[in-house]
Structure 1
Amino acid sequence: MRRRRATVARVKQQTLCLCMIVKNESRVIERCLSAVRPFIDYWVIDDTGSTDGTQDLIRKVLDGVPGELHEEPWVDFGHNRTRNIQRAEGQADYLLTLDADHVLRQDAPLPRLTADSYMLRYDVPGTQHRFKHLLRGDRLWRYEGVTHEYPCADEPDTQENLDALVVEDHADGGCRSDKFERDARLLRRELGRDPGNPRTVFYLANTERDLGHPEEAIALYEQRAAMGGWGEEVYCSLLEAGILRAETADDWPAAMDTFSRAWDARPQRLEACYELAAGLRLRGRHHTAHALLGRVVGQPEPEDLLFTRPWVYRWGLLFEFSITAHWVGEYEAAVRACDRLLALPDLPDTIRAQTVINRQFSVPRVPAPSSPAHRRSKAGKGGRKR
């Protein structure tokens, strides 16, 4: 442990203080703290009522690292995180916030930090997003929101992305068993108090979706989109509403309209285009789907923060293109697309297997190249005519 800490310290140029709120995290807290320990110089952890020995595990893993463990009554996430982060003010150059089911991973040397805050990337299957997990230690920060809370300050906040540190979210913490029901209660109460808060509407829509309430979720997503504001949240609202209409409500015409509105709202984001093309292809509308895909295959993933799907840009659009190319008679293009897919080292096994099968259908239909003798014969005839 000492050797690893010394290695990180040579890269790190400033001090870090770990900030957490926890409750009944005995199953996961050692994993989290063991990973982050080499990076931190101080820690402030608030326990909101653990009865499973979480406190003793914290003391054991962080033994030898200066810090504070506080017992704090639970109110809501915004209140309790604010109490925690303000206790840590001035304890280090930067404050690092984590949940107990997070694991911090270093992908590159940590540069000198100069911004007021940094957005760290989440490493989770399927989607990618960023959150503000690294904050200047000399600012008075607070958290807004009863759940899905976010840090803010009264002073101007210069924010940058930081790729050197990545958060692995295992989503297996002690409060996960009733997470959606709890979040729904908190968000409904907050929406009653402040019905014009677009973030509350968005995360209540997500929660209703996760609870299996598609009609309520669709209505809230449409409400959030109509409120305007942050373009990424508007886009994600329309995207999710379209997916629910296509998959749960079985209303493809409405889904097409919603996907189209999402794409128009944020043209650089292509998840809605993918859903639109895949839905058209599944319904036999191959030419329409192929025309859409031909315009976007190969476009890079944008630098958006909210719930991007890297696989759509990496292989999803190309996979759909490889299928529609076959059905519209562009067999050479289909084979080339399959070959590009099969060359990707991170292509999922199921997609790889299907691509191999798809390629076998297209290869026999690719016209054979003319033989050299045949080409010379045609050239000779052309010469005699002249």
Structure 2
Amino acid sequence: MNLGLCMVVRDEEHNLPACLDPIVDLFTEVVVVDTGSRDSTRALLRQRYGIVPAEYPLCPTRCGGIIDARNAGLASMSAPWIMSLDADERISRSALQDFTRLSDDPEVSGYFFRWMNRIPGDVEFEDYKLFVFRNGLRMRGLVHENVSIDLRDRRLAARWHDGIDVHHLPRWVPAERRALRMNRLRCALEQEPRWYRYHWFLGYTMSLTGRMDEAIHHLQVASSSLSLRFPVEVLNSSILLADIAARAGDGPQTIAILERALDFHRQVATDFEVQINFRLRPWLEEAWRRARRGQLQSIQA
């Protein structure tokens, strides 16, 4: 696989060596976009790796997001496959070497990897992220940007790759990270009110901070949209709403949420990201059975 690397950085002099040293030579092309570093990031890239970073200042009207910088970097690349990586993420050299030996499957336009998050002062949790995709695809969304929407709009598909764990080691403590996330999401929602991914993330984040009325509002907007462009966000919002209703002891509401979510899951079961989230349907089915038996307290998202 002819694989290039695209990164967006700012003040990452302490992160870049641990990120790049083990793997940088495995890429046929490396593009780094700097959004305004005040430390020695740019000098480090030039001196240590021979990389001249492009400079792309952030636009204050774009909610502090880096999507424009990401897409500018992607547009400048020629490698047929691109990995998008952040400086606080780590990949095993041997795992990446194995991945680059894959043959080019014309039916696949992107690859999801396991994403292991270790946030200071918080619990480690497992997630997934679409790290590798074909050249020509673009990020979408002012906040929490990814290429999944572009894949769906073009009727392309991505696949799970089980051979790589990407370890995410952010410096933010949870309270600071959540406050920044909510401010950016509110800003993005003003500009793109039907981008239901923002509603899901706002609802989830607010639920963590105990702001349940606001959380329920955003989760209901996402869940009731039944959006085919955001199927996982619809289902995740439904799961959290069912959890909230069950904890409140509202059996009929819990059952209604779960039945609607199961109907929607049947509609989007062939979506590439829904297929990767293979735990969604079993959870919904088991929660529905428990709700029907009145075992509401055993339903937990």
CA-atom RMSD in angstroms: 3.7
For structure 2, the 5+ residue unaligned runs are 60-64, 117-123, 267-279
Equivalence for 2:24: 37
Matches within 5 A, 1:34-183: 34-59=21-46, 62-63=49-50, 67-75=51-59, 76-88=65-77, 90=78, 92-105=79-92, 106=95, 108-109=98-99, 110-115=101-106, 117-124=109-116, 126-131=125-130, 133-137=131-135, 139=136, 141-151=137-147, 152=150, 156=154, 158-163=156-161, 166-173=164-171, 178-183=176-181
1:166/1:126 Cα in 2 relative to 1: closer, same or farther (>3 Å)? Answer: same
Please say if residues 120 and 165 of structure 1, whose CA atoms lie closer than 8 Å, have aligned partners that are also in contact: no
The match for 2:225 among 224, 227, 240 is: 227
CA offset at residue 87 of structure 1?
2.2
Q: Write the deviation string for residues 272-296 of structure 1: whole angstroms up to 9, x where unpaired.
A: 4555678999x9x59x98xx9xxxx
Aligned equivalent of 2:275: none
2:7 alignment partner in structure 1: 20
Conserved? CA contact 1:23–1:175, under 8 Å: no
Does the 8 A contact of 2:5 with 2:29 survive in 1? Answer: yes
**1:82 and 1:175, CA in 2 relative to 1: closer, same or farther beyond 3 A?**
farther
Contact 2:113/2:162 (8 A) holds in 1: no
> Given residue 242 of structure 2, which amino acid in structure 1 is its aligned partner?
G
Contact 2:8 2:86 in 1 (8 A): yes
Q: Do 1:120 and 1:166's aligned partners in 2 also have CA atoms closer than 8 Å?
A: no
Deviations 1:316-369 (A, max 9, x none): xxxxxxxxxxxxxxxxxxxxxxxxxxxxxxxxxxxxxxxxxxxxxxxxxxxxxx
Paired AA for residue 74 in structure 1? L
CA deviation map 1:1-55 (0-9, x unaligned): xxxxxxxxxxxxx322110111223343222213432421221111212233333
Looking at structure 2, the residues matched to 73 and 270 of structure 1 have their Cα atoms a distance apart, in angstroms, of 45
Q: 1:99 to 1:174 in 2, by over 3 A?
A: farther
1:1-386 to structure 2, matched below 5 A, reads 14-59=1-46, 62-63=49-50, 67-75=51-59, 76-88=65-77, 90=78, 92-105=79-92, 106=95, 108-109=98-99, 110-115=101-106, 117-124=109-116, 126-131=125-130, 133-137=131-135, 139=136, 141-151=137-147, 152=150, 156=154, 158-163=156-161, 166-173=164-171, 178-230=176-228, 231-246=231-246, 250-253=247-250, 256-257=254-255, 258-259=257-258, 261-266=260-265, 269-273=281-285, 285=295
- Give the counterpart letter for 2:282 in structure 1: L
Distance in 2 between residues matched to 1:176 and 1:22, nearest whole Å: 21
Question: 3-state SS of the aligned residue for 1:266?
Answer: helix
TM-score, structure 1 as length reference: 0.57
Q: Percent identity?
A: 20
The change in CA–CA distance for 1:142 and 1:232 in structure 2 (over 3 A counts) is closer
- Secondary structure (helix, strand or coil) at the match of 2:5 reads strand
Write the distance in 2 (CA, Å) between the matches of 1:50 and 1:83.
17
**2: CA distance between counterparts of 1:273 and 1:153?**
28
Closer/same/farther in 2, CA of residues 81 and 173 from structure 1, 3 Å limit? farther
Partner residue of 2:62? Answer: none
Q: Tell me the secondary structure at the aligned position of residue 21 of structure 1.
A: strand
Other structure's SS at 2:240 match? helix
Please tell me whether the aligned partners of residues 77 and 145 of structure 1 are also in contact (alpha carbons under 8 angstroms). Answer: no
Q: Higher Cα Rg: structure 1 or 2?
A: 1
C-alpha separation in 2, matches of 1:272 and 1:154: 24
Are residues 251 and 28 of structure 1, via their aligned partners in 2, closer, same or farther at CA, if it must alter by over 3 Å?
same
Distance in 1, matches of 2:213 and 2:153, equals 40
Say which is worse superposed, 224-233 or 150-159, in terms of deviation.
150-159
Report the count of equivalent residues: 264
Distance in 1 of aligned mates of 2:157 and 2:82: 14
